[in-house]
Amino acid sequence: MSEAKFLKTLAGTRFPTPPIWLMRQAGRYLPEYRAVRATTRSFLEFCYTPDKAVEVTLQPVRRFGLDAAIIFSDILVVPDALGQRVWFEEGEGPKLEALTEPADFARLTRARLPEKLAPVYEAIRRTRAELQPETALLGFAGAPFTLACYMIEGGGSRDFAKVKSWAYRHPDSFGLLIDLLVDAVVDHLVNQIDAGVDAVQLFDSWAGVLPEEQLFGWSLEPMVRIAHAVHARHPRTPIIAFPRAVGPATLMYRRNDAFAALSIDTGIGAHWAARELQPHICLQGNLDPLMLVAGGAALEREATRILDKLGNGPFVFNLGHGVVPQTPPENVAQLVDIVRNWKPPSS
C-alpha cells in the first residue's frame, strides 16, 4: 500500500507531476452515482450500506484514474453516532435536531459509535481490497468546530449566530462539546485506519467564520489534539488538515508535528502559498470548483497557473472545495490530463 504516489508525496518524495484527487469526487455530477443514489431514499442509510458506499467510492477512480479514493460517507455520521437526530432533506442539505443548551449534549455518548459506524468500517475494508495498491484510500472526519456548527445551528447557516454566541458567552460549556467531539473524532479516525485507510483528512469547513483570536482555541488546537491522539495509535498515518477560508491565519496550521499536509481553499493565492507555506509543509489544493465547471481554455490556464507555482512540490493537486453537482464529468478527465502532462516552466 505504501506504493501509492499520493502517500509518497505526503512523505516528502517529489515526482515530475503531482498526484491528484478531488474533494467530493464521488457525487451527483456522475450519472453512475445518481443511479446508485436513486436506490435509497435516505442519504444516511445510503452511507451505511457498504455495497453502495464501496461502489460509489470506486466510481471516480475507475472513470478518471485518480491517485486516491476517499471513502464515501459524510462528516455528519459522527453526530448521528453520538445520538443526535440527523437527516437530509432533498435539495436542502443536512438537518439536525439542534442542541440548544448544555443539558442537550450531556445526552450524547460515544459508547455506541463503533457499532453505529461499523458499516463505514466494513465499506473501508472492502474498498481497500478492491483498489490497486497504487491507489491510496483516504478516510476523513469533520473537525470539532465544523461539527459543532451543524450540531448547534441544526443545519447549514448564513451567519452562524447560534454557535458563535454559545462559544463566546459560554466558552466552558462549548469547550465540553469540543472535547467530546475531539474524543469521538479520534475514535472514528482510529477505527477507519484499523479498517484500512492509508491517510485521513480533517475538514474544518467553517473555521473561516471565526475571528483569528478564536481560531487557535476552537479550530487548530482541537485538530492538533486529534492528530496527536491518532498518532499515539498509528504514528505513521498521514493527517491532512483543511482549515477552510481562514486566509493568512493558515500560517498557524503549518504544524508538521501534527499534519502531513495542508489543504488550501481557493481564496489562498498560489504564489503566497508557495512562499509562506510550502517550504514548511506539503500543500493540497486549490483550483476553484467553478473552474472545473467552466472547463476548456479557462480550466487549462488556471490549473497550469497553480501547477507552475506549486507543482514542484511537495504538492497534491485538488480543488479548493468540493466538486459541485453541475460539473461536466468530461472536465474532470480534462483536468487529470492537464495535471499528468504538465511540465515545469523552467526545465
Active site residue ranges: 24, 28, 37, 74, 150
Provide the minimum distance between the beta carbon of 56 and ligand CP3 in the complex, in angstroms, as a whole number. Answer: 8
The H or E element spanning position 140 is: strand 136-142
Q: Quick check: 327 binds ligand CP3 (CB under 6 A)?
A: no
Beta bridge partners of 231: none
Residue of 29, 43, 166, 317 that binds ligand CP3 (CB under 6 A):
43
Residues in 176-215 at the binding interface with ligand CP3, rule: CB under 6 A: 203, 205
Cα 333 to its chain centre, rounded Å, is 21
Cell of residue 184, nine digits: 469521538
Q: Which stretch binds ligand CP3 (CB under 6 A): 26-34, 106-114, 293-301, 332-340?
A: 26-34
Cell of residue 58, nine digits: 470506486
Provide the minimum distance between the beta carbon of 172 and ligand CP3 in the complex, in angstroms, as a whole number. Answer: 26
Q: Quick check: 45 binds ligand CP3 (CB under 6 A)?
A: no
The H or E element spanning position 194 is: helix 171-195
Nearest residue (CB) to ligand CP3, 7 versus 319: 319
What mask of x and - would describe binding to ligand CP3 in positions 221 to 260, judged by CB under 6 A?
----------------------------------------
What mask of x and - would describe binding to ligand CP3 in positions 59 to 98, judged by CB under 6 A?
-----------x-xxxxx----------------xx----
Cell of residue 307, nine digits: 501547477
Instruction: Tell me how crowded residue 90 is: count the other CB atoms within 10 A of its CB.
Output: 7
**Strand bridging mode 93-96 / 239-243:** unpaired
DSSP helix/strand/coil, 340: helix
Nearest residue (CB) to ligand CP3, 27 versus 311: 27
Q: Which residue matches cell numbers 479557462? A: 298
Number of residues written out for the chain: 347
Q: Quick check: 139 binds ligand CP3 (CB under 6 A)?
A: no
Q: Which stretch binds ligand CP3 (CB under 6 A): 18-26, 185-193, 231-239, 307-315?
A: 18-26
Q: Which residue matches cell numbers 454557535? A: 163
Q: Which residue matches cell numbers 497550469? A: 304
Are residues 314 and 283 in contact, defined by beta-carbon separation less than 8 angstroms? Answer: yes
Q: Quick check: 322 binds ligand CP3 (CB under 6 A)?
A: yes
Are residues 67 and 135 in contact, defined by beta-carbon separation less than 8 angstroms? Answer: yes
Provide the binding-site residues for ligand CP3, judged by CB under 6 A: 23-28, 37, 43, 70, 72-76, 93-94, 140, 156, 203, 205, 322
